[in-house]
Amino acid sequence: MLKTELQKAADFLRLEFAKLHAGRASIALVENVRVEAYGAQMPLNQLATLSSPEPRLIVVQPWDRNIVKNIEKALRENMPDLNPVIDGELIRIPFPAPTEERRKALVKEVGKTVEDARIKIRRAREDAISEIMSKEKRGEISEDDLHRQKDEIQKEIDETNRLVEEARKKKEEEIMTI
């Protein structure tokens, strides 16, 4: 159970980092934008091929050219800081280089996201420790097993925290590098 919770925290961090655009085009930023199509709200990645041929450009190629305007409208509504451009049957989304102020704000967002991940990790540790403590109280495990399992839990937590810290440093470096 601990490994599952730690994996969820790592996945959360990875998804949130993918959503932060640091002036580089990332398909993760647009793939789940909801588009009105065929009488329903559908994610963009189910309506078009998404690619990033250049570091500062995403190209959306709808499978049905009749929904190009709907896609453009959804992109403008969901991402007002971007300026999608219709180019025939394609939609090009250029990503301008962020200003120094924007990059500093993104680094703060990275810090908040990392803290949220660490909270998830702490909760997972607390749950795992309370579970083994209740087993010890019920007599299912010995006191020695309790301490051994606590040490194992702490090793897993330390490793996960190390990976989170590496991811934070890497993302901050990516944001501050232009």
Q: Which CATH architecture has domain 2-17+99-176?
A: Orthogonal Bundle (1.10)
pTM given for the model: 0.66
pLDDT tens digits, one per residue of 100-159: 888 888 889 899 999 999 999 999 999 999 999 998 898 888 888 889 999 999 999 999
**56 and 24 in contact (C-beta within 8 Å)?**
yes
Closest of 95, 117, 98 to residue 107, by C-alpha: 98
**95 and 81 in contact (C-beta within 8 Å)?**
no
Closest of 116, 114, 108 to residue 22, by C-alpha: 108
Element (H, E) at 5: helix 2-19
CATH 3.30.1360.40 in the chain, residues?
24-94
**33 and 74 in contact (C-beta within 8 Å)?**
yes
Residue 27 pLDDT exceeds 80: no
Alpha carbon separation from 35 to 30, 45, 73, 78 (Å, rounded): 11, 10, 8, 10
User: 85: which 2 tokens?
Assistant: 């451009």
Q: Where are the alpha helices (DSSP H) in the chain?
A: 2-19, 68-78, 100-137, 143-176
User: 167: which 2 tokens?
Assistant: 């991811």
CATH 1.10.132.20 in the chain, residues?
2-17+99-176
Q: Which CATH architecture has domain 24-94?
A: 2-Layer Sandwich (3.30)
Residue 21 pLDDT exceeds 80: no
Percentage, residues of the chain above pLDDT 70: 97
